[in-house]
Amino acid sequence: MENSCGNSRIVGCSFSVHPMSDQFVSYIKTSLQEVDTSKVWMHTDDVTTTVRGRMEHVFDVTKAILLHIAKTEVHVAFQGTFSIGCPGDSSGDVYMDETTERMNEAETRDIQQYIAAKFSLYPMGGGNYMDTIYSQIEAMKEKGVTVSPAHYSTRLEGDTHDIFSGLEDVFRETENSGSSHTVMTVTVSANSPTHKEKKS
């Protein structure tokens, strides 16, 4: 459980992607072949996949997996829990030495994908984070993301790149504000039947 948090600044994300299709295995495998995961520790079991490493690579890889599935136009849901400050072990620490260049940015940059998302931020370790969060949400709005309140979360609608960069920013700035252990949950729906009229 959450009782012994280490000092490593490694970021982890336990996530699942769910293509709503009889061919879900094929969608996932094809996406994974297209994503460069060389800069993150990665492990998959029957419930979730966990990636761990530098913050930018964790967001880069999770976004790329989502985009490579969503670009096929299948309805896909993504659910991820991003965590920093409670690594639990050191098996991924070697990945903290990777360079900052994002391995999937060039491949995914041109994939335009509308998504609806909800996120919740749980700063477990103090810090002066409320002003930070509000200013980051304002920054998301300026990028063109639609932000609205939802039960137990904040709702975001817009392009996948804008939303993921906004989520990465709010997560990083919460960390920087002094929270020793921060958790952020993100739920995404892409190509939902109810989104058809909104897609570009």
Annotated binding residue 17: yes
- From 110, 104, 113, 102, select the one nearest 160 (Cα to Cα): 113
Residues of span 61-100 touching a second copy by CB under 8 A: 75, 77, 79, 81, 83, 86, 88-89
Is 44 among the annotated ligand-binding positions? Answer: no
132 closest CA partner among 193, 177, 69, 77: 177
Binds a second copy by CB under 8 A, chosen from 6, 8, 24, 139: 24
Name residues contacting a second copy, limited to 29-58 (CB under 8 A): 43, 45-48, 50, 52
Structure tokens at 186: 């993100």
Q: Tokens 């999937």 correspond to what residue?
A: 104
What is the spatial distance between Cα 192 and Cα 78, in angstroms, rounded to a whole number?
A: 12
Give the per-residue contact string, 111-130, with a second copy (x = CB under 8 A; - = no): -----xxx-xxx-x-----x
What pairs with residue 13 in β-bridges? 51, 82
Q: Residues binding a second copy: what is the number (CB under 8 A)? A: 54
Toward a second copy, which CB reaches closer, 72 or 79? 79
Picking from 90, 102, 28, 105, the residue whose alpha carbon sits closest to that of residue 65 is: 28
Nearer Cβ to a second copy, position 13 or 67?
13
Residue corresponding to tokens 């477990």: 124
- Contact pick of 14, 165, 177, 180 for a second copy (by CB under 8 A): 14
Query: Count of CB atoms within 10 A of residue 26's CB?
Result: 12
143 touches a second copy (CB under 8 A)? no
Return the CA Rg of the chain: 16
Residue placing its CB nearer to a second copy in the complex, 103 or 186: 186
Nearest Cα to Cα of residue 34 among 17, 22, 55: 17
Q: Which residues bind a second copy (CB under 8 A)?
A: 1-3, 12, 14, 16, 18-22, 24-25, 43, 45-48, 50, 52, 75, 77, 79, 81, 83, 86, 88-89, 116-118, 120-122, 124, 130, 133-134, 149-155, 183, 185, 187-189, 192-195
Residues flagged as binding site for thiamine: 17, 49
